[in-house]
Amino acid sequence: MGKNRFGNLDSDGAVRAGRHRIMRWGQERMVRQVRQHAKDYSTCIPNVYPDLPFLQQNRTEPSITWIGHSTFLIQMSGLNIVTDPVWARRMAMQKRLSPPGIALEDMPPIDVVLVSHSHYDHLHVSSLRRLSGAKRLYVPAGLSKKMLRKGFRQVDELNWWEEVSFHGVKFTFVPAQHWARRNLWDTNHSHWGGWVIESAHSPTIYFGGDSGYFRGFEEIGRRFDIDVALLPIGAYDPEWFMSEEHMSPEEALKAFLDVRAKYFVPMHYGSFKLADDTPQEALDRLESERQRLALPQDQMFVLQHGESMRFYSRQASDNQ
């Protein structure tokens, strides 16, 4: 592993695509199109009207609202927290499949931004600039200098298992199996991972970032008592190419069991066409695997864009 480069628990360096592997992927796509087996992306994740009055004023009730892809608004202990801020209308040459669940101009002032890694579909600087609020940034090790050069002043970087507390909320940066790059010269010069968010009288939330399936999920489950796991289920096809860096829906459920969370929320699908799987394929495989494993249906929350999990209100309704 080169100087100043980060690696995974199970490999030394980046997940490297390789020219021949990319060519093979392209050839497979061409063959499928010739045979008229093009994927159907017409079924998109629905958007619901977010409860903006609640979200803009809420400082007491824990909630999780899916904006899209890996972007969530998490409200906990009076803080407004955003994960992997991306409101971009397109990613590379691909238009966004579904609009964000909350428009940027409707977002409440943001106190904390959690970044899992530097890939553009997880860190869109223009979106980050436009978010209002103080915006304290917690980023992976190696990324703070880049963010400071972009003009952000409140930036802290963490290595795996390091933690920081802010206004009664503890943020711990935990391992993932992935890689990082924003240009041809900075491959793996910053780290990647997920975040565990803990606060008294609030659910413990694990935001998985972007990851292939790996043994680190079991260690995360041993170290934390997780209530809600936000885990990626998309960008897995073709699996021979993507499996080192992206989980399939079946692997995501295996990771959910490894981290021993109470509830599962799928993410990282339905917003951008990053691989050959479609949003509906990911959801169908997820539901099929849930049934095969005999997991209770009420353990899995398949959110729509703009939809919120509101914990106090859900607990109250359960007790009625």
Query: pLDDT tens across 76-87, in order?
Result: 999 999 999 999
- Residues 198 and 237: beta-carbon distance below 8 Å: no
Integer Cα distance of 237 and 149 in angstroms: 36
Average pLDDT of the residues in 22-38: 57
Residue 135 has pLDDT above 80, yes or no: yes
- Please report which confidence band the pLDDT of residue 93 belongs to, taking 50, 70 and 90 as the band edges: confident
Show the domains of the chain with their CATH numbers: 57-319 (3.60.15.10)
> 101: Cβ–Cβ under 8 A, 6 or more apart, which residues?
47, 48, 50, 65, 66, 67, 68, 304, 305, 306, 307
- Please report which confidence band the pLDDT of residue 18 belongs to, taking 50, 70 and 90 as the band edges: low
- Residues 157 and 170: beta-carbon distance below 8 Å: no
